[in-house]
Amino acid sequence: MKVELHVWRQAGPAAPGEFVRYDVADVSPDMSFLEVLDVLNEQLVARREEPIAFDHDCREGICGACGMVINGRPHGPERATTACQLHMRHFPDGAEIWIEPWRARAFPVVKDLVVDRSAFDRIIQAGGYITVRTGSAPEANSLLVPKRDADLAMDAAQCIGCGACVAACPNASAMLFVAAKVSHLGLLPQGQPERHSRVADTVAQMDAEGFGACTNHGECMAACPKEISIDFIARLNRDYLTATLRRQTSDVRGDGVEA
Report if residue 158 touches other proteins, rule: CB under 8 A: yes
CB of 50 to other proteins, least distance (A): 5
Does position 128 bind other proteins by CB under 8 A?
A: yes
Quote the least distance from Cβ 69 to other proteins, whole Å. Answer: 17
Kindly tell me which of 137 and 213 has the beta carbon lying closer to other proteins.
137
The correct pick among 6, 17, 24, 53 for binding other proteins (CB under 8 A) is 53
With beta carbons less than 8 A apart as the criterion, state whether 41 and 56 touch: no
- By the rule CB under 8 A, 77 interacts with other proteins: no
At residue 73, what are phi and psi to the nearest 5 degrees? -120, 130
Binder among 9, 17, 81, 255 for other proteins (CB under 8 A): 81
Radius of gyration of the chain (CA): 21
Note whether 24 and 36 are within 8 A (CB).
yes
32 lies in the binding site for other proteins (CB under 8 A): yes
Alpha-carbon 22 to chain mean position: 28
Helix extents (H) in the chain = 33-46, 118-127, 147-157, 164-168, 175-186, 195-208, 219-223, 231-250
Spatial strand order of the sheet with 73-74 comes to: 17-24, 3-10, 95-100, 69-70, 73-74
Does residue 39 touch other proteins according to CB under 8 A? yes
Adjacent-strand bridge partners of 252: 258
* Whole-angstrom distance, CA of residue 32 vs CA of residue 86: 6
Of 150 and 252, nearer to other proteins (C-beta) is: 150
Q: Which of these ranges, 131-139, 166-174, 230-238, 248-256, lies near other proteins under the rule CB under 8 A?
A: 131-139
Count Cβ atoms within 10 A of the Cβ of residue 121 and give its class: 0-12 exposed, 13-18 middle, 19 or more buried.
Answer: exposed
Binding marks (x or -) toward other proteins, 82..111, rule CB under 8 A?
A: ---x-x-x--------------------xx
55/219 with CB nearer other proteins: 55
- Greatest Cα pair distance, the chain, in angstroms, is 67
Q: Is 133 in the site for other proteins (CB under 8 A)?
A: yes
**Which part of the chain contacts other proteins (CB under 8 A), choosing from 73-81, 92-100, 166-174, 231-239?**
73-81
The interface with other proteins within residues 181-240 (CB under 8 A) comprises 184-185, 188, 190-191
